[in-house]
Structure 1
Amino acid sequence: MEHNVINSFEKTIKSGLYKEVRESKRIIIRESDYELKIRLYSEDGDGIAFRIEDFKAEANYLAGEHSLRGGGKDNDLTFLDNGTIYQFEVKKTKTPNSMLGKQQLTKGMSWVKHILNVALPNYNNYFNKIAYIQIS
């Protein structure tokens, strides 16, 4: 890749809100009713993983009963690597095509675009693929 995603995040995003994935990294998604461990592998050594909820909690500008972790829908994990935006959503459903999961992935992309506009203003030049991954 011609750009350096990790370097861009280090310059613009508060540390602790994302994880660098230079080769491989184990990420743990913790929710009130489950814990999921995922191992991510970077193809180009310039990967970034983050949870939108962490950004919402840190920003502290959302009100309501879910303000601690940020209200509104979003996906569980985002991974940026080698020109692709990977979005993960974990859902306990009977069918993998749950409409709720699709809504969270779609709304999560709005948050991802917001974050990328801050960290990588020309992100459209870098990321040409989006992969939606729903885990049921």
Structure 2
Amino acid sequence: MSPDLIRLFEAARAAQGRAYAPYSRFPVGAALRDETGAVHAGCNVENAAYPVGTCAEAGAIAAMVAAGGRAISEMLVLGPGPGLVTPCGACRQRIREFAGPAARIHVADGAGVRAAFTLAALLPDSFGPENLGSEVAHG
């Protein structure tokens, strides 16, 4: 793994360790790099009024926006189990708000990165800010 990818992996793993997942027992961490190179992380936070929780990807995006970032250059999602833990449909659209089709989304487990996709592969022919005439600049 490249040093940049290692940094994302470590941030996602640390966030995963702080996940609040008492109902699903499925902790997920996510980390992204914004247009300035800053790394922002998030974890899933569940709620007794299931499924009103927050996904790890949404938490990482919120952290980026709160810190002043506006574009996702790259993201890593880390989850447990034998299957690939790719972003859910809602998170794919959340990512799309801040990332272009070529943005790389890495999927990992505790042992390392297992797969990588472009956002276009995860959400083909997507609807984004430019459909509404927004001039959002993606990293």
Shared fold per TM-score greater than 0.5: no
State the TM-score, normalized to the length of structure 2: 0.30
Compare the two structures and name the one with the higher strand fraction.
Answer: 1
State the TM-score, normalized to the length of structure 1: 0.31
- Structure of greater relative contact order (alpha carbons < 8 Å, 6+ residues apart): 1
